[in-house]
Amino acid sequence: MQQFLSVSDSEDPGSLVKKALALKKDPFGNQIGKNKTLGLVFFNPSLRTRMSTQKAAMNLGMNVMVMNIDKDGWKIETHDGAIMDGDNQEHIKDAARVMSQYVDVLGVRTFPALKSREEDYSENVINQFVKHSEVPIISLESATRHPLQSLADLITIEELGIKKPKVVLSWAPHPRILPQAVSNSFLEWIKITDAEVTLACPEGYELDDQFIDGVTICHDQDKAFEGADIIYAKNWSSYHHYGQRLEVKQDWTITSDKMALTNNGKFMHCLPIRRNVVATDEVIDHSIVYQQAKNREFSAQVVLLEILERMK
Ligand SMILES: NCCC[C@H](NC(=O)CCC(=O)O)C(=O)O
Ligand SMILES: NC(=O)OP(=O)(O)O
């Protein structure tokens, strides 16, 4: 693997799931990362991605450097050709090139601004890193995708051992407007499995066509939940009415009553989760979200391993 920005960067993404499960059994068996350094650049907050990716790198014997560029760096200009006489102090092309000289692999987290769909879906920030970095780039969640999360989700689903699982990706309420990245990415990855996938969301919350191709869309949450094996909950803001908050009449919070409609379904969420807004305490406390979060370590480890193996 040369880089990891989406499912299409792996020739055989299904094999990553199996290799990750093997790493989970023997995390320290391969020290290929000795004398190699991973850099992690954060434009946004993170708990799981930060810690699981550092742990994954340490499992392989790597050193890790973390740069919270939004807090500790100069203010970054992201537009090509900008006349930098305003607040922004350092151009992304200079920052990316320089940081890449200190490390062997570079991870980048960058959220969308949710103001312009064209700007966000152009993936300008992470693509500038790809363009100007001298080393492979790993997405730690970009404007439109979160592949390390989706790979961990697939590892978790594989561990459940359900044949042809009925999976529902359900929209849920949230006090803020959030990116579509986790949901887009989940749909892009779940397609490589034999799962039957339904997207449950209020009208106006359908995702970009490139992600929902082949997915059943259901605007009735109760109906979607009937017989489901897995409920993957997430809030996302409207793709079609970009950056807007649409009126939603029904209550989409996931409760135990709704989970009772499923086939003893497992509840998944990438975290962080707004308790008693996205889902009730009872649902979260009986869920597999911690198993899912633990698997972030092995999704990151298998990706680092594949990248390091290619560099040998
Ligand atoms: N990395 C996992 C999710 C990150 C982000 N969630 C958030 O920003 C939630 C913040 C809050 O609850 O205010 C998202 O939805 O893409
Ligand atoms: N799920 C996830 O990516 O969490 P963080 O935003 O805390 O890294």
Cα separations in angstroms, 120 against 84, 113, 179: 22, 7, 10
Question: What residues are in contact with ligand 2 under a 6 Å CB criterion?
Answer: 46-49, 141, 149, 270-272
176 inside domain:
yes
Is the ipTM of this structure higher than 0.95?
A: yes
1 inside domain:
no
What value, to the nearest 5°, has the Cα angle with vertex 158 and ends 152 and 162?
Answer: 140
Domain containing 138: what range? Answer: 7-146+295-311
Q: 132 and 35, same structural domain?
A: yes
Q: 169 and 288, same structural domain?
A: yes
Q: 161 and 122 in contact (C-beta within 8 Å)?
A: no
Q: 233 and 268 in contact (C-beta within 8 Å)?
A: yes
φ/ψ bin of 264: left (φ > 0), alpha (ψ from -120 to 50), beta (otherwise): left
Tokens 């135990």: give the residue. 256
Q: Ligand 1 centre from 26 Cα, in Å?
A: 31
Q: 163 and 118, same structural domain?
A: no
Q: 97 and 175, same structural domain?
A: no
Calculate mean pLDDT across residues 122-149. 98
Q: Ligand 2 centre from 140 Cα, in Å?
A: 9
The pLDDT tens digits for 274-298 are 999 999 999 999 999 999 999 999 9
**Number of domains within the chain:** 2
96 inside domain:
yes
238 inside domain:
yes
Tokens 């100007």: give the residue. 132
Q: 179 and 94, same structural domain?
A: no
Q: 160 and 133, same structural domain?
A: no
Q: 121 and 32, same structural domain?
A: yes
Write out the DSSP string of 209-266. HHHHTTPEEES-HHHHHTT-SEEEEE----TTTTTPPPP--S---B-HHHHTTSSSPE
**Of 306, 305, 238, nearest to 58 (Cα)?**
305
Indicate if the pLDDT at residue 182 is higher than 80.
yes
21 inside domain:
yes
The pLDDT tens digits for 136-170 are 999 999 999 999 999 999 999 999 999 999 999 99
For a ligand 2 pocket test, name from 141, 232, 291 the mutation site with the most ligand atoms within 8 angstroms of its C-beta: 141
The pLDDT tens digits for 186-234 are 999 999 999 999 999 999 999 999 999 999 999 999 999 999 999 999 9
Q: 286 and 157, same structural domain?
A: yes
pLDDT range class, residue 312, cuts 50, 70, 90: confident
Ligand 1 pocket residue status of 272, Cβ below 6 Å: yes
Q: 99 and 167, same structural domain?
A: no
- For residue 130, what is the domain's CATH number? 3.40.50.1370
Nearest ligand to the C-alpha atom of residue 179: 1
The average confidence (pLDDT) of the chain is 98
Tokens 């990891």: give the residue. 4
> Going by CA atoms, what residue is nearest to atom 9 of ligand 1?
272
For a ligand 1 pocket test, name from 42, 270, 276, 284 the mutation site with the most ligand atoms within 8 angstroms of its C-beta: 270
Would the annotation count 46 as a binding residue? yes
What is the percent of the chain where pLDDT is above 90?
A: 100
